[in-house]
Amino acid sequence: MTIPTDRTPDVGGFSDPRAWMQKQLFDRRMVLLSGVLDDGVANSVGASLMTLDATGDSAVQLQIDSGDGTVDAALALMDIVDLLGVPVHATCVGQAAGPAVGLLAVCDRRTVSPHARLRLFEPTVEVHGSARQLQQLASGHLDRMAMFWTRLSEATGQSLENLRHDASGGRFFSAEEAVAYGLADQVATPDATIHRLPGRSIGFGPR
C-alpha cells in the first residue's frame, strides 16, 4: 500500500491554511494589516473592509501592525474607512508608524496595546524621470502629504503645525502618550470601556 506524502493536510475543510485563517477572520469580522502599508496591502485590506461592510451591519475589527508605507496607500484606506456604512474599531498591536498612524487615527474606535509603539514621520518617496517629471511628481507628493496632515489634524485635534513639527523629528509615542495626543482613544486593559461613535450616513452596504 502506497501512502501519498505530497498532499497538503486539510484544515477545517480547507487545503490551504491561509484560506482557513481568512475564513475564521471573516466570520469574526476581523481584518489584519501587517507589514509595510503599500498599494498591494491597501488593496487587500480595502477589499476586505468593503466586503464585510456589504455583508453585515456590525462593526469591523481592524488590527494594525505596520511600521512603514506610502501616503497614497494610507489615503486610499482612510477614504474607505470614511465611506463605510459600519464602524471600524482599530487596535494597534505592535506598532503603527508613518502612514499607518493616519489610518489608526481616522477609525471610529481606536485602541492601542500597552506596549504598542507609535511614531509620526514623513514617508520617503522615490521618483524617476526627467527634470520636469520629477518636479511634477514632487508637487503631487506634497499635495497628497497636505491631504494626509489635514485629515490627521481633523482626527486628532492637533494643529497642522504641531503634526508637521513632530513628524519632522520622527516623534515616538508610548500608548498613553498616543491617547493624550489624540491618535487613540484608550490603552487596552481588561476593564477598558469605549462609547461607540455615531455611524456614518453613507456606505457600501445596508445600514
d(CA 204, CA 86): 9
What pTM value is reported for the model?
A: 0.79
Per-residue pLDDT of the chain (207 residues), as tens digits, is 444 444 444 545 556 676 777 788 788 899 999 999 999 999 999 999 999 999 999 999 999 999 999 999 999 999 999 999 999 999 999 999 999 999 999 999 999 999 999 999 987 666 556 767 666 666 666 899 999 999 999 999 999 999 999 999 999 999 999 999 999 999 998 665 544 333 333 344 433
30 three-state secondary structure: strand
**In 10 A of CB 132, how many CB atoms?**
8
State phi, psi for 4 to the nearest 5 degrees: -65, 140
Position 26 scores a pLDDT of: 81
Q: Taking a C-beta distance cutoff of 8 angstroms, is the pair 91, 111 a contact?
A: yes
Instruction: Report all structural domains of the chain as residue ranges with CATH numbers, in order of start.
Output: 17-187 (3.90.226.10)
33 three-state secondary structure: strand
